[in-house]
Amino acid sequence: MQEGKVLPAAQINRDLLRSILETPRWFWPVVSILGLVVLAATITIGIMINTGLGITGLNYKVVWGFFITNFVFWIGISHAGVMLSAILRLAKAEWRRPATRAAEVLTIFSLMTAMIMPIIHTGRPWRILYWAFPYDFARGIWPNIRPPLVWDPSAILTYLTSSTLFVLIALVPDFAVLRDRTTGWPKIVYTMLAMGWEGNPRQWKLQIIAGVLLSALILPVFVSVHSIVSWDFGMAVAIKSWHSTVFAPYFVVGAVHSGVSAVVFAMILLRWAYGWQDYIRHEHIDALGRLLIVVATGWFYFLVMEIIFGIYGLEGDELAVRALQFLPGEYGVAYNVWMIVFVGITYFLPVILWLPKAWRRNLWIMSAACISVNVGMWLERYLLFVPGQANKQFLTFTWNDYLPRWPEALIVAATFAFVSMLMLLFSRVFPLVPLYDIKEGDILRTEMQIGRRKLTATFRED
Amino acid sequence: MPNAQFEHKWGMVADLDKCTGCQACVIACQAENNIPINTKDYFLQRRAYEWIRIERYWEGEYPNVKARFMPVLCQHCENAPCEPVCPVFATYHNEEGLNVQVYNRCVGTRYCINNCPYQVRMFNFWHPNWPARMENQLNPDVTVRSRGITEKCTFCVQRIRRGELQVEARDGNRLNDETISGGNYDPACVQACPTNALMFGDLQDSNAAIKPYFDDVNAHPGHGEHDRETRGYRLLEEMNTRPSVIYLKKIDKYPLEAGH
């Protein structure tokens, strides 16, 4: 199933490098607005570090709030990268081609954003330098490797490193194209980045081997990163509804759900912004939509299982948290309403929108479904983490709810601006749709006569 | 360590039958340990905290109603859930059975707060402030904690250390119940309790008054509260945190009338 025409290589270069060689009129205004939001949040973080976490809405009971929710959300988004490039590459899915780099770059930027969150969330962020960058095993000062909070940076930094390598290796042939088409100091930079790429068979062979190897090596990271993030919660014995063994697969599938949705939305935006109608085609969005139905249904299964496992034990405290989550509350925030909204916009609404083929090919409907999934997945994390803490545990005297205050809201909003800004800036410097990958797909494509129909198919020898 | 020659394992017994819920222990702790004053603002922000708190439970329906009180402080668990989750070893178990908090190391991840089933770990959201003249009454033996760190009950480790220095290192005698209470080396809450509901002692000392309660509870682990000779039990025994604090059940001389 491949549509669209085979374009000449020169036109592919011209179209896909347009974002780099020409500046669209909207570019700098949009980047400036995003930059202003990021600046405001940076100042807020400064104020927060200066005066303390008192300016947030956290209290003695709910000590992990918006920041941790946002951390898990962005880690989740980052899972699109491996899913689309590594797994689909190994599975030889042809329709992955235009999406891979956007997904990997989104991975890198969302990981970077995610890592800011737990650091600014701590009481004394400047002290984190002692343990995360890098953790001081050698001198054995405080060698406590038991907490999941130490596994987190290890897993995330591994993921960040391997994703960056992945993107760089895939970029080398495109750097060479850019090197040949630029002048002045950009040419010098691209020359260095291209690392002497000439496009001879040996280089291609090594590049492909490196790509496949990295795909295979990145697969364990795909499972481990979000599992480890989920253990931040799963390992906590004292908070009911967190202490669950199903968290690791549940989080991983949820991460793919939100991550792939985010990539679809980013691709639709890029297609519209840079006029890449010939490259990011309806067939690609369609295929991603079908993948998303499967992922979403897997995620829904784990959601239901998580709730069933929670209720199954019939422990009073666990049931109290579940009651707080699902039943009309007598206390402050109506978590049950949010719960219905969250399940609706994360599973039922988008899956209904993805089911008809015509709707999958309608970019407006796809965008709406993907935004809805991501709003829902953000809510999911919030509803997983906060009611467990807000619930009256065994002994505490008071119930405590949590209402975020403006610094948290602003910083969370700014993370979205930050990632968008980085993506836009990246698209100005590097091609966001891999040139060589598109060309490779076109070369491998052949027409096949089956009965009376002519179909396009891809043949390759392995 | 000031004393290498004596081993200790500190423990506490809280007799709920004697507790009147007067909160003297709370105030004593507040004064002894330089805990910031819980102002109205702190309460409204829900960030007021105490290292030892009195929990009050109502039983029955008005007018046939009873109030129950229970002092809850850090249980100094032998198997503390807060300890393995600290990435910087700010909380660890020392050789005297105390769960200690090293304020200098703490970065404020607040994982320990989430992992404490007794909810006795508290986070410092603001830098502590006292009215100017009250700064003169701060206890010089206790660190004034900065904002951004977690803190909790220490069993008044400063008093224990003073005892170890004055009685053990200087005089060469082992601390026992008598010398502990005689020299004011027991925790401030124990000292302040008007009904002696709180008892403090050394479990390595075979003559300690608290020792029989611990022996009894340890001899009948699990939920066998009725098998025990004393009224002793631990909080949340099913979590296997093995606290160093034992509670003695309240005796109901006049139980609630049924049917009301």
**Residue A377: closest CA among A350, A346, A336:** A346
Residue-wise DSSP of A66-107: HHHHHHHHHHHHHHHHIIIIIIHHHTT-GGGGGGHHHHHHHH
Q: What is the C-alpha R_g of chain B?
A: 19
- On the question of pLDDT at B132 being above 50, the answer is yes
Q: Is B79 on the interface with A (CB under 8 A)?
A: no
Predicted-complex ipTM score? 0.89
Shortest Cα–Cα distance, A459 to chain B (Å): 52
Shortest Cα–Cα distance, B109 to chain A (Å): 5
Quick: pLDDT tens for B15-47. Answer: 999 999 999 999 999 999 999 999 999 988 888
* Helix, strand, coil content of chain A in percent (nearest 5): 70, 5, 25
Do A437 and A211 contact (CB within 8 A), yes or no?
A: no
* Average pLDDT per consecutive 10 residues, chain A (462 residues; last block may be shorter): 67 79 86 95 94 90 91 91 77 77 89 92 82 63 79 89 89 88 87 88 89 86 89 88 88 91 88 83 87 93 91 83 77 76 91 90 92 93 87 70 89 94 89 80 75 72 56
In angstroms, the first-to-last Cα distance of chain A is 21
Interface list for chain A against chain B, based on CB atoms closer than 8 Å: 52-54, 58-61, 63-64, 118, 121-125, 127-128, 130-131, 142-144, 146-150, 232, 235-239, 242, 389, 393-398, 400
* Token pair recorded at residue B207: 């003559």
Rounded to whole angstroms, the Cα distance separating A217 from A220 reads 7
Find how far residue A117's CA is from the centre of its chain: 15
**Residue B218: closest CA among B208, B232, B206, B204:** B232
Tell me how far apart the 2 most distant CA atoms of chain A are, in Å. 76
- Residue in B46, B85, B235 closest to A60 by CB: B46
Domain locations along chain A: 9-458
Domain A9-458 CATH assignment equals 1.10.730.10: no
Residues 6+ apart with CB under 8 A from A387: A241, A321, A324, A325, A335
The amino acid sitting at B49 is: Y
- On the question of pLDDT at B223 being above 90, the answer is no
b/e per residue, A291-315, with b = 16+ CB within 10 A?
Answer: bbeebbebbbebbeebbebbeeeee
Cβ neighbours of B146 in A, within 8 Å: 124
* Token pair recorded at residue A90: 């190994």
Shortest Cα–Cα distance, A429 to chain B (Å): 37
* Token pair recorded at residue B24: 């003297």
Q: Tokens 């807060």 map to which residue?
A: B82
Give the three-state DSSP class for A408. Answer: helix
Cβ neighbours of A333 in B, within 8 Å: none
Do A62 and A390 contact (CB within 8 A), yes or no?
A: yes
Cβ burial, residue B162 (10 Å; 0-12/13-18/19+): middle
Q: Can you give the pLDDT at residue A428?
A: 86
Quick: pLDDT tens for B152-172. Answer: 999 999 999 999 988 888 888
Shortest Cα–Cα distance, B154 to chain A (Å): 19
Do A379 and A342 contact (CB within 8 A), yes or no?
A: yes
Residues 6+ apart with CB under 8 A from A162: A214, A217, A218, A221
**Structural domains present in chain B:** 10-248 (3.30.70.20)
Residues 6+ apart with CB under 8 A from A251: A72, A76, A226, A227, A229, A230
Nearest CA in chain B to A131: B88
Do B101 and B110 contact (CB within 8 A), yes or no?
A: no
